[in-house]
Amino acid sequence: MLFKLTTWNINSVRLRIELVAKFLEEVQPDVLCLQETKTPDDAFPLKRLKQLGYEHIAIAGQKGYHGVAIISKLPFESSNVRVFCENLDSRHISVAFGASAGMAVPLIVHNFYVPAGGDIPDPVANPKFAHKLQFLDEMKACEPLHPRNDARHILVGDLNVAPHENDVWSHKQLIKIVSHTPIECEKLLAVQSEGGWIDVARERIPMSEKIYTWWSYRAADWTAANRGRRLDHIWVSSAMKDMIRDFTVTREARSWERPSDHVPVTTVLEL
């Protein structure tokens, strides 16, 4: 079966629910993973999403900040929320798909919103940056994020790190900017290595090519400046490497009315 999955930092799901609806109607992913939903669970726009055919929804939200959700056409067997840094701040949710979704082999999807880390890349001077580094360390050490042998896992989300030189518009100018500092890049790549994860974007697109998924609101004309970063990621477990069939970045979504500063990132897998 072909399985299409999208990750998108929506920057308020209630504010941008019609953009979500537009995307779901046009692209029709089987699963949409959202980050920075910024809404408590009891205010999540479930009704609108179910009208669009996405009846299976797992959410971990809070008022005004953070928040993650997995929205699916396919039923899942279970969902789970994991706490990092002893902080109940709605930064992870996972679901497990099985026979009810037509899958002979179970599939687990992890959705993350890694802390942004503030503006100062110094863990002593900036507690937000210290939190981010600790979060990445805990991801690396987290046993459920170490899929082995034939286990089918997907890890997606706004990981808030652009780990490679061509994941940013200027490696030279951003090397001391939070999201592309050497320590962040090293720690995210250590998470990837420890879990044996395959970075779908870089599996499909050579390291020599630029890839961006985020453009700052501060740019007067984001298209002209094109100062992007690749902060949004899709990783698959090593057992799924040969199942990757497609990878796309919906760049045009950055120009939609009242857009998120992130755009949807989608993969197609043949399970």
- In this predicted model, what pLDDT tens digit does every residue of 52-91 receive, in sequence order? 999 999 999 999 899 999 999 999 999 999 999 999 899 9
Please give the model's pTM, rounded to 2 decimal places.
0.98
- Determine the Cα–Cα distance for residues 200 and 20; give it in Å rounded to an integer: 23
Q: Residue 254: pLDDT above 90?
A: yes
pLDDT at 83: 96
* Dihedral, 118, 123, 127, 132 alpha carbons, nearest 10: 60
Give yes or no for a contact between 66 and 38, defined as CB atoms under 8 angstroms apart.
yes
The pLDDT of residue 219:
87
What pLDDT digit, counting tens, does each position of 10-34 carry? 999 999 999 999 999 999 999 999 9
